[in-house]
Amino acid sequence: MRTTIDLPEDLLKEAMNRTGIKTKTQVISTALEEMIRRSKLSELKKFKGKVDLEIDLDHIRGRQCRY
């Protein structure tokens, strides 16, 4: 999709230098993907300590307790 936007040139150049990405399109796409990823992680953190899976990893992995 083609879109015309005004971006601070220094901000765009810094992002390209820090990431090593060569095109403006790719650096913007990468930034959007990262923003979405962080948003999803933030939503998942709401469940921390609230989900009880009752999983025995030793049993699943076929381990036996040595104690």
The residue segments making up the domain with residue 49 are 9-60
Rg (CA), the chain: 21
Predicted local distance difference test score (pLDDT) of residue 38? 97
Tokens for 9, please give them.
């040139």
Split into its structural domains, the chain has a count of 1
What digits encode the pLDDT tens for the residues 41-61?
999 888 887 877 788 877 788
Angle at the Cα of 62 from the Cα atoms of 56 and 64, rounded to 5 degrees = 80
Answer yes or no: is 1 within a domain: no
Residues 45, 30: Cα–Cα separation, whole Å: 23
Structure pTM? Answer: 0.67
Answer yes or no: is 35 within a domain: yes
Answer yes or no: is 3 within a domain: no
Q: Is residue 65 over pLDDT 80?
A: no
Task: Decide which of 64 and 54 is more confident.
Answer: 54
Answer yes or no: is 33 within a domain: yes
What digits encode the pLDDT tens for the residues 12-50?
999 999 999 999 999 999 999 999 999 999 998 888 878
